[in-house]
């Protein structure tokens, strides 16, 4: 009897498909300034995928932005994109992807992208205005329980390029706030968000203004911050 049951179990499990690893598309097309840190960022995201069991595809080909292709990805990451990187047809495909429950993640100059597309402004959460020269600054943790912030210090001192923003979507949930008293050149005042998340138009989005420097992508705290953003987008 035990042999029969064991045989039935083996037969049954052979027909059960193993859950597939999440699929992530990393998009790094630039139509303006190009960050030297893009290659380091791609390598870091690939390493995260290998460790945390998600598959990553990297592209700078906007022609891949069709709904037929995008629907196979759980998350689309704009890693240091700049300028007008999608045409009207590609924009509509990406919008449909989000409307159907897709997830978007923007890193650093993702907010310096698609300035003529108001819907994207709401999705990413703000547009880049300008920045002072890179410097050390203090970041204050606003939400402590989010996967992207739970392992960060309450007052996080680090070196990066600090964006000033315009057209901030006030409906985003602010995760990290930049302390403008800790550096020179801030223009957003007491309300200077630097990382946030929200559900938007059928999908969800996460953005971090960190990640200008190549060194960022070898910093454990920043990598954990990025991983937490991915986990949020994957609904984990």
Express each pLDDT in 129-166 by its tens digit.
999 999 999 999 999 999 999 999 999 999 999 999 99
At 159, give phi and psi (nearest 5°).
Answer: -100, 130
What is the tens place of the pLDDT at every residue in 202-216?
A: 999 999 999 999 999
pLDDT score for 17 = 55
Counting as low any pLDDT under 50, the low residues of the chain are 5-6, 8-16
Quote the pLDDT of residue 236: 80
Residue 222 burial class via C-beta count within 10 angstroms: exposed 0-12, middle 13-18, buried 19 and up: buried
* CATH tag for 21-233 (out of 1.10.238.10, 1.10.3720.10, 3.30.450.20, 3.40.50.880): 3.40.50.880
Give me the pLDDT at residue 1, please.
56
**Where exactly are the structural domains of the chain?**
21-233
Q: Given this model, what pLDDT does residue 107 score?
A: 99
- The C-alpha atoms of residue 9 and residue 39 are separated, in whole angstroms, by 47
- The three-state DSSP-derived secondary structure of the chain is CHHHHHHHHHHHHHHCCCCCCCEEEEECCECCCCCCCHHHHHHHHHHHHHHHCCEEEEECCHHHCCHHHHCCCCEEEEECCEECCCCHHHHHHHHHHHHCCCEEEEEHHHHHECCCCHHHHHHHCCEEEECCCCEEEEEEECCCCCCCCCCCCCEEEEEECCCEEECCCCCCEEEEEEEHHHCCCCCCCCCCEEEEEEEECCEEEEEECCCCCHHHHHCHHHHHHHHHHHHHHCCC
Find where tokens 């059960």 sit: 16
In angstroms, the CA 45 to CA 23 distance is 12
| Distance separating alpha carbons of residues 181 and 104, to the nearest angstrom | 31
pLDDT for position 11: 46
**Predicted model pTM:** 0.92
């Amino acid at each position: 009897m035990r042999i029969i049951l064991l045989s039935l179990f083996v037969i049954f499990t052979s027909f059960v498909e193993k859950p597939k690893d999440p699929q992530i598309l990393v998009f790094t097309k630039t139509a303006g300034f190009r960050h030297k840190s893009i290659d380091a960022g791609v390598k870091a995201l690939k390493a995260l995928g290998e460790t945390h069991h998600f598959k990553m595809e990297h592209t700078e080909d906007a022609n891949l932005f069709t709904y037929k292709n995008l629907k196979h990805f759980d998350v689309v990451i704009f890693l240091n994109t700049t300028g007008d990187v999608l045409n009207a047809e590609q924009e509509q495909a990406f919008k449909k992807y989000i409307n159907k429950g897709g997830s978007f993640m923007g890193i650093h100059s993702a907010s310096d992208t698609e300035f003529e597309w108001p819907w994207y402004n709401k999705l990413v959460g703000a547009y880049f205005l300008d920045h002072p020269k890179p410097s050390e600054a203090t970041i204050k943790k606003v939400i402590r329980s989010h996967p992207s912030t739970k392992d960060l210090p309450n007052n996080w001192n680090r070196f990066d390029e600090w964006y000033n923003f315009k057209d901030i979507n006030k409906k985003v949930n602010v995760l990290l706030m930049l302390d403008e008293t800790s550096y020179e050149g801030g223009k957003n005042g007491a309300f200077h968000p630097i990382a946030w998340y929200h559900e938007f138009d059928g999908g969800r989005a996460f953005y971090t203004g960190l990640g200008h420097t190549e060194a960022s992508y070898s910093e454990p705290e920043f990598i954990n911050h990025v991983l937490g953003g991915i986990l949020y987008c994957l609904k984990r």
